[in-house]
Amino acid sequence: MQGEFAHAQASGDTNMHYIDQDLHPDYAIQEAIVSGTFNADFKAPPPNFIEASFNRALQEYETTWARLPQVRLARGNIVRMGAQGQRIANVNQRLGLSGSVFNANLSNRIRHYRRVHDLPSGNHIDNILIDSLNLGAAHYINKISINLHRASELPSDLGEKFVLVDVANQQLYMYEGKNLVNQMRVIVGTADNPTPMLAGYMRFSVINPYWNVPTDLTRDRYARRIINGGENYLKTRRFEALSGWEDDARILSYSEVDWKAVESGQQKLRLRQRPGPGNGMGDIKFMFPNPYGVYLHDTHNEAPFKLDSRAISAGCVRLEKPWVLADWLYGKRLQTQGQRPEQIVNLDGKTPVYISYFTAIPKNLGLPNEGLSMRKDIYGRDARLTKALASPFS
């Protein structure tokens, strides 16, 4: 219950939550104050390389796009190369060009604008383009600025080896220093169950894990299915009801549980699924212990990774290629001990994991993007963070 409540708190705000306090960007300053070494000679750590990249991106955006005439454009029909007239003249003016003909210069400028601002590709004028242009440069400067703030919530030294999960982009990146060595698609939480922003150390993994079903899912989804399907539903899907959350909790029989009380929320029940085909955790999960009940894990349902939008989980992060991550973390292929459940494999050290949320991506992060590009705000966090930064004491 504590984990469920804490997850609800963390997922609904705009802040980074530090599971390990030495990953806080102000940790060095706090330590200096405590030790009495915070004086005129103290030098604060420099910005991390992601924050530095956002600073450059902000300057480049201001130079490339913010200095253009911020004239408002009328919506209308789709227009393509070769067209001419006042509407073309207005778009040319807005994009820093001249003339009233839709020529190659305007075509290239539109294609560039669309790539940077996360619009459907093309070189035509449509209302999607017009609406974006009418938002104005100030809108996008603010978007870059709040992502710069998110980058500043990461420590100066991100680690010799670290994992970065970008929830907004639904990608996981594996870094060695400043070098991106691999990446994969991930599935993240829905808008109703958003994945929170966390910073902590990955310490171990679990092979053949149980899936401990969140109590709200037991109440809202599974209790009714078990009532309808009876004891056979539990057996065929390998679910077990337990007497509590202790390590020595007893497995309950179907008849020992008041399933209607569980469905109504009058009774909290620990429900878990045994390892094997269809298990919600897949074959391995990666643990950075935290009170929010969020971690990285495998899944036996690979189809959703083909989707462009993958915000469909209950808050945890599902991995497209979990064994690629395992090989990289451990430097070898892990050996399983048969089908024994909950095989814990400790890491030799501790690898930082940063679950962040970037709705703009600068270049120079090792990613295959040609430059700055915007991303969709799948949780609506940008507006809340803008308000919070504008009124920090409200």
Domain limits, the chain: 71-135
Residue-wise pLDDT for 281-324, tens only, equals 999 999 998 988 899 999 999 999 999 999 999 899 999 999 99
CB contact burial 290-309 (16+ within 10 A = b; e otherwise):
bebbbbbbbbeeeeebeeee
Whether 90 and 129 have beta carbons less than 8 Å apart is answered as no
Distance CA 207, CA 219 (A): 27
Is the confidence at residue 366, as pLDDT, over 70?
no
**Cβ–Cβ < 8 Å for 257, 250:** no
Is the confidence at residue 251, as pLDDT, over 50? yes
* pLDDT bracket for residue 335 (50, 70, 90): confident
Structure tokens at 271: 């429900």
| Residue 8, pLDDT above cutoff 60 | no
Residue 341, Cβ density class (10 Å: 0-12 exposed, 13-18 middle, ≥19 buried): middle
**Residue range 77-83: average pLDDT?**
96
Provide the pLDDT confidence category of residue 350 given band limits of 50, 70 and 90: very high
Percentage of the chain beyond pLDDT 70 is 94
Hey, what amino acid is at 284? Answer: I
Q: Identify residue 201 by its one-letter amino acid code.
A: Y
Separation of alpha carbons 377 and 158, rounded Å: 24
Q: What gap in Å lies between CA 167 and CA 375, rounded to an integer?
A: 11
Q: Tell me how far apart the alpha carbons of residues 138 and 141 are, in angstroms, rounded to a whole number.
A: 5
Confidence band (pLDDT; 50, 70, 90) for 368? low
Cα–Cα nearest to 342, from 291, 276, 289, 294: 276
Specify the pLDDT at position 391.
75
Q: Taking 60 as the threshold, does the pLDDT of residue 386 lie above it?
A: yes
pTM of this structure: 0.90
Structure tokens at 151: 């980058």
Tell me the three state secondary structure of residue 123: coil
Residue 43: pLDDT band with limits 50, 70, 90: confident
Strand-pairing partners, residue 176, are: 161, 179
Lowest-confidence region among 14-18, 52-56, 280-284, 362-366: 362-366
> What interhelical angle do 127-135 and 104-116 show, nearest 10?
70
pLDDT at site 33: 78
Rounded CA separation 355/373 (Å): 19
Query: Does residue 145 surpass a pLDDT of 90?
Result: yes
Q: Is pLDDT above 70 for 12?
A: no
Return d(Cα 229, Cα 233) in angstroms, integer: 5
Which has the closest alpha carbon to 323: 289, 354, 367, 285?
285
Task: Render pLDDT for 176-221 as a digit per residue (tens, 0 to 9).
Answer: 999 999 999 999 999 998 999 999 999 999 999 999 998 888 999 9
CATH C-level class of 71-135:
mainly alpha
Q: Which residues pair with 296 in a beta bridge?
A: 286, 317
Q: Could you tell me whether strands 251-252 and 239-242 are parallel, antiparallel, or unpaired per DSSP bridges?
A: antiparallel
Considering only CA atoms, which of 81, 277, 72, 316 is closest in space to residue 193? 316
Closest CA to 356 of 120, 48, 116: 48
For the chain, where are the E strands, in sequence order? 16-18, 161-166, 171-176, 179-189, 197-207, 211-213, 239-242, 251-252, 270-273, 284-287, 296-297, 311-313, 317-319, 343-356, 360-361, 373-374
| DSSP for residue 377 | -
